[in-house]
Structure 1
Amino acid sequence: MGAENISAQELNRLIVEGAPLFILDTRNESDFQDWKIEGGDIAYLNVPYFELLDGVASILDRLPEDRKLIVVCAKEGSSKLVAEHIHKEGRAVSYLQGGMKSWSEYLYPVLVHQDDELTVYQFIRVGKGCLSYLLISGKEALVIDPSRFTEVYEQAAAREGVAITHIVDSHLHADHISGGHELAQKTGAHYYLMRSEGATFHFDALEEHDHISFANVHLEVLAIKTPGHTPGSVSFLVNQRFLFSGDTVFVSGLGRPDLGGKAREWALDLYHTVYEKLAGLADDIVVLPSHYADFETEKNEQGYIGTTLGHIRAMNEIMREKTVHEFVDTVAQSASTQPPPNFEDIIAINRGVRAASPEEVQELEIGPNRCAAHHT
């Protein structure tokens, strides 16, 4: 037997459990520095593949024996060859099946809340820092900010014995392809988006549907218009208990307002969102965003990404006691960092004005999310 492969699912399980891992990343240094596997107890070594073509003797003494060794690359081929070199040297080693592409696409559900009226699952896409949600009430379900992997939500609904009847996107996403329109076509569900986001396909405009109720209980979804990240960004307040905040408010920051080329103008919108619209919400409301920046610091004891609005306010100075000028200056400056990779193409696809093959979509999504403007 040669080197073993390890799936993204199994790797994520080890990370969540805190297993000591050592990752040998054989991509170019710039790719490694830009985006890598993170979380848990991981040590790293980055050596580009071309330096290991003739063998791994030069790095053997840098590979610890008290950690599980995993080799990764972009698509699998290079890491498999390097792992075989290591295996021939008598060392236990695995390589990531599908490479960083498979890591980018893996997502898994975590139970956020369950009672007689409402069940909430958060789907964590670990390689992108993207979050989506399945809300169940009675025999119906609502999906918030679905990824393009629509079968994940269909399978989860089937396991729960419910039908997906409503789908909402909080805004026109810039770092990943939305599965909202496709999922609606497959399930027959109503798909909601703000008309001001400029999508060209059929949807139900949230401007006309700020309350959505379904099932035997009264599950109210209040769409709060929270512009800033985009002009049509909304947040969803469910049963006065959960705020699904899209890219408006994160556990550790706020959404960046510069992706439309109007950083200061949209930062002003974000100020009014934070200091007027969100200011009236209670501190004990649980914020469930559509992205996270750091899994280890933003994950709570229950294993999902989220915390109370009061905690976020306490941890983010920018959400307290800032004048409008201070806020706009700070947010606009913070938002001047590198934008999400390929964001213009992704927005065009999500708007419905550009088509892309599955292979191209996969390439466009590779890389980290960069939707935050300010972090604690």
Structure 2
Amino acid sequence: MKSIRVQELQRRMEAGEEVFILDVRAASAYDDWHIEQRNVVSANIQNSKLLQFGPEAFIEIPKDKEVITVCAKGAAAKEAVDILEGKGYHAAYLEGGMQAWSEFYYTVQVAHTDDLQLMQVIRPAKGCLSYVLISGEEAVVVDPARHIDVYLDVAKEYGVEIRHILDTHLHADHITGGHDLAAQTGAEYWISASEMNEAKRSYSPLTDGLKIAFGASTLEVMAVPTPGHTPGSTSFLINDEYLLSGDTVFVNGLGRPDLGGKAKEWAHMLYQTVISRLNALSDDMIVLPSHFSNYREVTDDGYVGAVLGQLRSDNQLVLGGTDEESFTEAVSGNTGATPPNYETIVAINRGMLEVSNEEASDLEIGPNRCAVKHLA
């Protein structure tokens, strides 16, 4: 039986090949989260329907191209391949299913100068973004996910030592790899102290204007407090050119302020961040967030990001072009579904709870839900 790995699936999608995906999970699971990309067409038809009516009853399933079947972990997708091939279709199943897709990463280069290599690590299924900054023989990692081999492999490939690890905030939708990566490499782990109340893990506290120099003497990472998504959210300014904005500013809006149960209070913080912090930054600043919502936010160069001036032009929330009360009502009332398991994930990220790898995988299943919906 033919199978396809997530790496090959991503290669096809990046190459612009037409891909047809038959997702055989329950309709509710598909509606909540499924594989999306340019040049990808998908359909959601369960095996029970394929058996009852025959695949030929569903005209959306092509006979002239390969059908890639997908389920939660791979077993039902194999059954779907059997059904399809028995009727003369060409099919292959995605190894590991949506769980494998959830744990797949790839790296894109954002900048490459004499002093700096800036790479974005993309986790497409979760919409999670992290960063590796390299200068000379040293590296800084920002917002690492729990699969730390991704960052260790980059460091090995470029022959550099990871010196600093920074989390922009206490993540609520995925488990940080910051602590494990620091333990593995001896690097210093940084996060805002207000994010780590009652935490049982060691860290170095980020403070306003803190500068972390590494590699070339001209390269600096400057901490810029940008509260709102969480009280201690911190963005990082790289050489006055790139803003690693965490979950404060996205390509499609702003970070949601409601996950701590204080939506209006944190929304007021977010407004002050927009007015006092973001408005002080140049329109030419390139914003590189820690999450994205869908493939449409990927630039022609392959990374997720946007020029700040364009974000201001497209979205009044990012501009702060409204009064504080209107802003607060808009962002606190337009947040959508709460990320599943976020209280458990926050406890893990504070070191107050430990789970197995299997439990961690189950906790992280699902899309990014950290943003306020775009308001033009």
TM-score bracket, normalised by the shorter chain, equals over 0.9
**Corresponding residue for residue 365 of structure 1:** 364
In structure 2, relative to structure 1, the CA distance for the partners of 1:55 and 1:324 (3 Å cut) is: same
Q: Deviations over 1:279-322 (max 9, x none)?
A: 00001111000000121x21111110011111111111223321
Deviations 1:154-178 (A, max 9, x none): 0111110101111000000011010
Match of 1:113 among 111, 114, 135: 111
Aligned twin of 1:311? 310
Task: Say which is worse superposed, 308-317 or 105-114, in terms of deviation.
Answer: 308-317
Amino acid at match of 1:367: G
Matched, 1:197 2:195: yes
* CA spacing shift, 1:130–1:186, aligned 2, 3 Å: same
2:334 paired residue number = 334
- Aligned equivalents of 2:305, 2:103: Cα separation in 1: 21
- The one-letter code of the counterpart of 2:257 is P
Say whether residues 1:23 and 2:21 are aligned partners.
Answer: yes
Q: SS of the counterpart of 2:333? A: helix
Give the secondary-structure state (helix, strand or coil) at the position aligned to 2:274: helix
Distance 2:208 2:334 in 1: 34
* Superposition deviation, residue 227 in structure 1: 0.4
Does residue 1:206 correspond to 2:232, yes or no?
no
What does residue 260 of structure 1 align with? 260
TM-score in terms of structure 1 length: 0.96
**Larger CA deviation: 5-14 vs 124-133:** 5-14
118-127 vs 36-45, greater mean Cα deviation = 36-45
Equivalent-residue separation in structure 1 for 2:311 and 2:66 (angstroms): 36
Amino acid at match of 1:272: Q
User: CA offsets per residue over residues 70-89 of structure 1, 9 Å max, x none?
Assistant: 11000000001111221122
Greater shift in the superposed pair: 120-129 or 5-14: 5-14
Q: What is the aligned partner in structure 1 of residue 82 from structure 2?
A: 84
Q: Deviations over 1:188-218 (max 9, x none)?
A: 0011011111232011111288111112423
Where does residue 174 of structure 1 map in the other structure?
172
Which amino acid letter does the alignment assign opposite residue 339 of structure 1? T
Cα deviation, residue 116, structure 1 = 0.4
Shift of 1:60: 5.5
Show the 5 A alignment for 1:1-376: 2=1, 4-52=2-50, 56-57=54-55, 59=57, 61-198=59-196, 199-207=199-207, 210-295=210-295, 297-320=296-319, 321-335=321-335, 337-376=336-375
Supply the distance in 2 between the matched residues of 1:251 and 1:57 (Cα, whole angstroms): 40
**2:51, 2:83 within 8 Å by CA — same for their partners in 1?**
no
Letter in structure 1 aligned against 2:187: A
Coordinate RMSD, CA, aligned = 1.5
Question: Separation in 2 of the partners of 1:248 and 1:203?
Answer: 22
AA at the equivalent of 1:254: L
Give 3-state SS (helix, strand or coil) of 1:50's partner: helix
Which is further off, 206-215 or 125-134?
206-215
Q: Distance in 1 between matches of 2:54 and 2:352?
A: 48
C-alpha deviation, 1:348, in angstroms: 0.8
User: Partner amino acid for 2:252?
Assistant: S
Question: Could you say what secondary structure the match of 1:278 adopts?
Answer: helix
Alpha-carbon shift at residue 55 of structure 1 (Å): 8.0
**CA separation in 1, counterparts of 2:329 and 2:65?**
45
Question: For the Cα contact (< 8 Å) 1:107–1:125, is it kept in 2?
Answer: yes
Provide the rounded CA distance (Å) in 2 between the counterparts of 1:253 and 1:67. Answer: 38
- Contact 1:106/1:127 (CA < 8 Å) preserved in 2? yes
Change (3 A) 1:348 1:50: farther
Provide the C-alpha distance between the structure 2 equivalents of 1:150 and 1:158, rounded to a whole number of angstroms: 12
- Distance in 2, Cα, partners of 1:89 & 1:330: 52
1:300·1:306 contact (CA, 8 Å) conserved in 2? yes
Could you tell me the TM-score, scaled by structure 2's length?
A: 0.96
CA deviations on 1:50-100 (whole Å, 9 max, x unpaired) are 334568445464411344311100000000111122112222111111000
Q: Residues 176 and 349 of structure 2 are in contact (CA less than 8 Å); yes or no, is this contact kept in structure 1?
A: yes
Do the aligned partners of 1:147 and 1:179 also contact (CA within 8 Å) in 2? Answer: yes
Give the deviation of 1:19 after TM superposition. 1.6
Partners of 2:56 and 2:99 lie apart in 1 by: 28
Counterpart code for 2:323: T
Secondary structure at the aligned position of 2:207 is classed as: helix
Cα drift, residue 9 of structure 1: 1.1
Contact 2:69–2:77 (CA under 8 A) maintained in structure 1: yes
| Aligned 8 A contact 1:24 1:44 in 2 | yes
Larger CA deviation: 51-60 vs 302-311: 51-60
Q: Secondary structure at the match of 1:124?
A: strand
Kindly indicate whether the alpha-carbon contact (under 8 Å) linking 1:55 and 1:85 is maintained by their aligned counterparts in 2. no
Q: Which runs of 5+ in 1 are unaligned?
A: none
Aligned length: 372
Structure 2 unmatched ranges of 5 or more: none
